[in-house]
Each structure stands twice: as structure tokens, then as C-alpha cells.
Structure 1
Amino acid sequence: MPNKTTIIVADDHPMLLKGLCEELISNNYSVIGTAENGAIALELITKLNPDLAILDIEMPLLTGFEVIKKCENKKLKTKYIVLTSHKESRFIFKAKTLNISGYLLKDEPFEEMQKCITSISNNKTYFSSTFDSVFESEVSPEIKKIKFLSPSERTIIRLIAQGSSSNEIAESLLISIRTVQKHRTNILSKLDLASHTDSLTVWAKQHKELILSL
């Protein structure tokens, strides 16, 4: 029996795109469109309003995340599965913030895709076990640390994440450089970071998505 769930698939690797579509079709899923870049994916999703879009994260013109964000602004019914090679915490956190329904790794068997689609059809989310382990071991502890910062410290770390220097922070917040440095020292301590000059700047840039979302 054909599956009534309509699907659009987007990946900039033609062989991977072809292989995934063939697997889906051979298992009776209804693939109604394919795209090799994010701009085409956005156009197809907007035009066809599928039940499900399976998107690679890194595509030309628009990333999978950018496609999802633009589609969600249009209030479409489509749900999203991110298919990626990335296991880094920043990608996983970004997926969480966008309320994506599924997050799968490209090296997983097709059975995982089937489980994911079934879960989503039943209004449940489905994430790779790697996703969950990285979130629990790497993302969740950092969220707790950031939430432990005072409101002033959070303001300063947001500005650091956005690339502001201590001088620029002092000017924008109308406080002294000495006060900024004191806040930086306190933040280093609370985040359990080394006290050398660049450690906070490096950490803030690595966790920019996380910092700006809280």
C-alpha cells in the first residue's frame, strides 16, 4: 500500500539524493519533489506544501536550517527531518531551537529513516541516539552554566559572542572597562574556563547559537 505522506527530499550530492529517493519510493513513500540546493527546496516546499521535507544541513544558496526557518515563517504544515553528517553540539542545539521533528545521521541505515517517518506521522519527534547523547553530554551542561550567570553577565557574554571587544561593551553599556573585566573574570569562573586572554571569546563564539537563544 502506498504511504499517503507526501515528501520532498533535498541534498546537494546527486548520488545520495538519488539513492534516498529510490529507497523511499521502493518502500511506497510518496516523493513529490527533489532539490539539489536550498533555494529550490524552499520553492518546492512553499509551492507543494508537503507533509514532510527531508533536508541536508549544508546545501548551496540556503542551508537546511535556513530553509526551515523561512518555511516556518510562512506557517506551513510541513514537518522537517534534518539529514546530516554533523554530530557537533552546535548543530544539534540549532535543531532543537527550530523544533525540527527528526535529526538523522547520513551513515545510519534506512530503517532509521522509516522509524523517523513513522514517529513523525504519529506526531512524535525522532532523533538519532547520537543526537540525544551529544545533547545530554555536551549541550545540556552548557545550558545550565549559562543560566547560572547573572543578567548582567548574560548581557556581556551575548555581546562577546557577537564579536564585541571589552572597549565596545563598556561603551554600549555605559560602564567602565574595569567593570567589564570584572564581569569577564566572574563569567570565566562560573563557566569553569581557563583564565587566559582568549578563552572566553573562543567559548562564546563556539556556543553563539546557544548563548543568543537563552
Structure 2
Amino acid sequence: MMIVDDHAVVRRGIRAYLEVLDDFQVAAEAADGQQALDRLREMSTHGQLPDVVLIDLLMPRMDGVAATAHITGDHPGVKVVVLTSFGEMERVHAALAGGASGYLLKDAEPEEVVAALRAATRGDVFLHPSVARGLTQEIVSPSTGLSALTSRERDVLILVAQGCSNQEIADELVISERTARTHVSNVLRKLQLTSRTQAALVAVRQGLVPGQQPA
């Protein structure tokens, strides 16, 4: 397996715990998403791809959401499990949409991390209990209209109304362009809209961008 986290002490702690188990061998580490992709590419040329990647979300150069999508797209046989401090539903949706096979928070017990990794290698999905509850709540009591948007998605809607491109949104919010694109898609889906122009109209009519008229 591979461990991807920008904190060396976290990588070493996880590695030390997993390597005492008979069914895990840590083949590589990476400090960010781009480094993970580079190492996976190199490992692929030698036929040594790991079965699973355990990855953080908030990292420099390339975040975990973008890296997850690249990993699952470039190496379909490699499973990805997210281990992060962030449990907001927008991040969960983005990670799962990118192909993640598990989503854990860093307050998880070591046994839960092991269970998630084993589940991923079997082709199953393992979710942190609070994440599972959040997803269930969305199904049972879905929000509608602007109330359905997360705070980050509202920020994205305002930037869309201001005419920003996906790359400009990414630059403003310090996220990847792919993540910005996912946020825009989620905004359109939740508001049941089909275009950025419609989204801009909604933002203006709801007073999110006072005094501005969409093009």
C-alpha cells in the first residue's frame, strides 16, 4: 500500500502501526498528491502498483480529491481510502465522486483504519460513522434550494455569478480546478439548473451579489 500525507510524523505513525500486521506492507509514501501520482507511475512501469492508497485531503501542490480522481482514473485496480480531518459533506461527495472506496476522519480508531483498508481491497466501501450518518440524513431529509448548498458551494455560486471561470474559482478558493468544477456541478445539481447563467440569475435574485446583473 501507499500512504499519502504532507505530515511525515503522520505517515510514520500509520506505517509503524500497519507494518506489524501480517496482511499489510507499506511499499511507498508521498507528501502530496502530485508526488503520489509520480511514484505510482514509476511503480506501474515495474508492475509494482499497491492495492490501496491511504490519502489525506488537504495537501500542497495537488489535494487529495484531485489525486484520488487521477489515481482511480489512471490505475483502476488501485483502491483509495481517504483519511482526513475534514468531514464536510461537500468533501465527502467530491472524494466519493472521484472514486474513493472509503472515507475516514483522523479521530478514527486504528482498527477502523485497518477495517477500511481491508474493505477497499475486497471491493467494498467503508465510511466513518459520522460520514455515514451525514449521507443517510441527506437521503432521508434532503434540503432544497439555497439551503441545500454548503458554505463552500455558496461561495462558488457567488463567484459563478461574478463571471469567474472554474480556474478563477480554484485560484480564489485555493483548491484545484477539478475540485472547483465538481463544486459547480454540485451547485447546478442541487439547484436543479442546467447552466452557469441560470445559477448567476439565482444568486442575483437571492441577493448574494447585490446590485449585480448577470450577463
Q: CA deviation at 1:12?
A: 0.8
Q: Distance in 2 between matches of 1:16 and 1:106?
A: 10
Secondary structure in structure 2 of the residue aligned to 1:40: helix
What TM-score, normalized by structure 2, do the two folds share?
0.65
Q: Distance in 2 between matches of 1:140 and 1:85?
A: 25
Residue matched to 2:160: 163
Contact in 2 for aligned 1:45/1:53 (Cα 8 Å): no
Residue matched to 1:17: 11
If you compute each CA radius of gyration, which structure gives the higher value, 1 or 2?
A: 1
1:76-132 residue CA offsets vs partner (Å, 9 max, x unmatched): 311000000001111111122123101111111110011112212222111111111
Q: CA deviation at 1:139?
A: 7.5
Contact in 2 for aligned 1:93/1:139 (Cα 8 Å): no
Contact in 2 for aligned 1:87/1:134 (Cα 8 Å): no
1:29-72 residue CA offsets vs partner (Å, 9 max, x unmatched): 11100111222111122222211000010111111111112223
Contact in 2 for aligned 1:89/1:139 (Cα 8 Å): no
Secondary structure in structure 2 of the residue aligned to 1:53: strand
1:167-205 residue CA offsets vs partner (Å, 9 max, x unmatched): xxxxx96x9x9xx47x976xxxxxxxxx6x2299xxxxx
For 2:72, give the aligned amino acid: E
Q: CA deviation at 1:161?
A: 5.8
Residue matched to 2:96: 96
For 1:45, give the aligned amino acid: L
C-alpha spacing 1:98/1:139, structure 2 compared with 1 (3 Å): farther
Structure 1 unaligned segments of length 5 or more: list them: 1-6, 147-156, 167-171, 186-194, 201-214
C-alpha spacing 1:140/1:72, structure 2 compared with 1 (3 Å): farther
Identity across aligned pairs (percent)?
20
For 2:9, give the aligned amino acid: M
Which structure 2 residues correspond to residues 176-187 of structure 1 after superposition, within 5 A?
180=201
Contact in 2 for aligned 1:9/1:33 (Cα 8 Å): yes
For 2:98, give the aligned amino acid: L
Residue matched to 1:120: 120
Residue matched to 2:31: 36
C-alpha spacing 1:16/1:72, structure 2 compared with 1 (3 Å): same
Q: CA deviation at 1:162?
A: 5.3
